[in-house]
Structure 1
Amino acid sequence: MSHFISHVATLEIPVGNLEKSIEFYIDVLGVELEFKGEKNAMLTFKKKGVPTFYLVETEETQRTSFKNTNNDIVHSIIDFYTPELKEFYQWLKEKNIEVGPLNIQPENGYGGFGFKDPDGNLLAATNVLHEGQ
């Protein structure tokens, strides 16, 4: 068993317009700009153990999502936690940010939804925390 890795350090996200993406991530996620280069930027939540976001401006059009061929659901590879899932969903809609359906399990109130950044990268929000988070 490997004990070399302790946590996720950085999530790298391809973007088409660095300035527009920096504004989006700061506004929507509440992250802070830690570093900005000519074609890249590092954003952070400023919390211990939480990954940073490395935005890389590129002409590559592949985005952060995949289709589950078992059920045809398109998944995000990044889920953000919020205890106020319904309120965050409504706030994004009011900001005209593309959101998917809000899925909440009636038996326990847990759920989530997908939303897109300006480049079409699929992100998700959930109100589910796992042990150790």
Structure 2
Amino acid sequence: MKEKLLRIGTTYIPVTNVEFSAEWYVSRLGAELSYKDDDKAILNFANQSIFLVKSKENESSNFYDFYGEERFSLTFEVNGLNALEAIHKDFIEKEIKVGEIENRGHTGRNFIFYDLDANKFDVWSELSPIFKERYLSSN
């Protein structure tokens, strides 16, 4: 088979209140709302389509690893340490629950943040080289 998967087009995130969550993602993260009904909202941001799907209480996209540590399922990338520090400060000002900027022993720095339903996300200071080449290079 010569065909291969090219990109992740859509990510589904469980939320208890589609209206409140959609407004939160738009106002706090700068997402663009492209559709909303009682059961879902479709957002565009971070070069992806994000579906906020109405779910039962206490559902989240988080999971626990083998050692019992709660993990995030998504890492967002920013372009460098200065961008990471700026967005971390911006999230604090917008009263988003965030963790400290961390050195995890690999290239770059990270921090975590949470949405209204305690979905845990990661932000990393390093853009993938392929993304930089394709989308940020000056042609």
Please tell me the TM-score bracket, short chain as reference: 0.7 to 0.9
State the aligned residue count: 128
Residues 21-36 of structure 1 correspond to what in structure 2 (within 5 A)?
A: 21-36=21-36
1 CA distance for matches of 2:86 and 2:42? 27
Residue deviations 1:81-125 (CA, integer Å, cap 9, x gap): 2231111111212222111221147996x1111100001000111
1 CA distance for matches of 2:121 and 2:106? 25
Corresponding residue of 1:69: 66
The letter of the residue matching 1:128 is E
1 CA distance for matches of 2:49 and 2:35? 11
2 CA distance for matches of 1:97 and 1:85? 15
2 CA distance for matches of 1:105 and 1:75? 14
The letter of the residue matching 1:15 is V
In terms of fraction of residues, the more helix-rich structure is 2
Corresponding residue of 2:136: none
Among 82, 88, 103, the alignment partner of 2:78 is 82
Once the two structures are TM-superposed, the CA of residue 56 in structure 1 deviates from its matched residue by 0.7
Residues 39-58 of structure 1 correspond to what in structure 2 (within 5 A)?
A: 39-45=39-45, 50-58=47-55
Structure 1 residues 2 and 115: CA distance shift in structure 2, 3 A: farther
Aligned partners of 1:10 and 1:52 also within 8 Å: yes
TM-score (norm 2): 0.79
The letter of the residue matching 1:132 is I
DSSP 3-state at the match of 1:132: helix
Aligned partners of 2:102 and 2:109 also within 8 Å: yes
Query: Identity over aligned residues, as a percent?
Result: 27
Residues 1-133 of structure 1 correspond to what in structure 2 (within 5 A)?
A: 3-45=3-45, 50-70=47-67, 72-83=68-79, 84-104=83-103, 110-133=108-131
TM-score (norm 1): 0.82
1 CA distance for matches of 2:71 and 2:106? 23
2 CA distance for matches of 1:62 and 1:18? 13
Residue deviations 1:16-60 (CA, integer Å, cap 9, x gap): 111111111112321211111121111013x8xx32000111215
